[in-house]
């Protein structure tokens, strides 16, 4: 906890604790490993507030997809952050690392833990975006429906902002939303 909190602002850490609380509740609801949900939630934004130059170097030095650099920290903090989690925190559990990697973009194939972290990050108690209450209700009724809802809302938000959309996010939309 000290290592994680030392790498982020108080506001970000408050968010992380909200995600952890939500992830544990979702893990209980969907009979997923609560400890893994807790750990994945606590580390999911470990790299969120890192310096861009440091993160770009990390992407390059670890042979990660350099195309993600164009899309900025909102994308790469999960994917590249998993590398920092291994290196600095000594966490090597691939289920946890994949949940961190996938929490920003989703994925075509998502485990229950992936879905829990993806959704918990979107609905944690400090979030106030439009329709978050609907997302919260849905999360405890139907996790796949919550993944679909969140993916659609995220894509609508990015389109409204005329922002670049990372290709994996489009793949997630095509799998979970498009019929």
Domain ranges of the chain: 2-176
Picking from 42, 47, 45, the residue whose alpha carbon sits closest to that of residue 57 is 47
Whether residue 119 is predicted with pLDDT greater than 90 in this model: the reply is: yes
pTM for the complete prediction? 0.96
Q: Spell 51-86 as b/e; 16+ CB within 10 A means b.
A: eeeebbebbeeeebeeebbebebebbbbbbbbbbbe
Domain 2-176 homologous superfamily, CATH:
Hypothetical protein af1432 (1.10.3210.10)
| DSSP conformational letter for 67 | G
pLDDT bracket for residue 43 (50, 70, 90): very high
DSSP, residue by residue, 158-178:
HHHTT----HHHHHHHHHHT-
pLDDT of residue 87: 96
Distances (CA, A) of 146 to 38, 124, 149, 164, 169: 19, 13, 5, 23, 15
Based on the number of CB atoms within 10 Å of its own CB, is 33 exposed (0-12), middle (13-18) or buried (19 or more)?
A: middle
- Quick one: what percent of the chain has pLDDT higher than 70? 100
pLDDT (tens digit per residue) in 51-79? 999 999 999 999 999 999 999 999 999 99
pLDDT bracket for residue 179 (50, 70, 90): confident
**How confident is the model over 133-161, as a mean pLDDT?**
97
Task: Tell me the two tokens of residue 43.
Answer: 């580390």
pLDDT of residue 151: 98
pLDDT of residue 13: 98
Mean pLDDT of the chain: 97
């Amino acid at each position: 906890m000290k290592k994680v909190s030392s790498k982020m602002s108080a506001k970000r850490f408050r968010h992380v604790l909200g995600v952890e609380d939500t992830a544990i509740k979702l893990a209980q609801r969907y009979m997923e490993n609560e400890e893994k949900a807790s750990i994945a939630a606590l580390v999911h934004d470990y790299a969120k507030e890192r310096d861009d130059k440091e993160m770009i170097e990390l992407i390059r030095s670890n042979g990660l997809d350099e195309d993600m650099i164009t899309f900025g920290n909102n994308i790469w903090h999960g994917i590249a952050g998993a590398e920092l989690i291994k290196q600095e925190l000594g966490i090597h559990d691939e289920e946890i690392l994949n949940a961190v990697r996938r929490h920003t973009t989703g994925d075509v194939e998502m485990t229950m833990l992936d879905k829990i972290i993806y959704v918990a990050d979107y609905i944690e108690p400090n979030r106030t975006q439009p329709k978050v209450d609907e997302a919260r209700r849905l999360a405890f009724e139907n996790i796949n429906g919550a993944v679909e809802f969140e993916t659609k809302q995220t894509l609508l938000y990015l389109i409204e902002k005329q922002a670049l959309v990372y290709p994996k996010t489009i793949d997630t939309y095509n799998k979970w939303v498009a019929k």
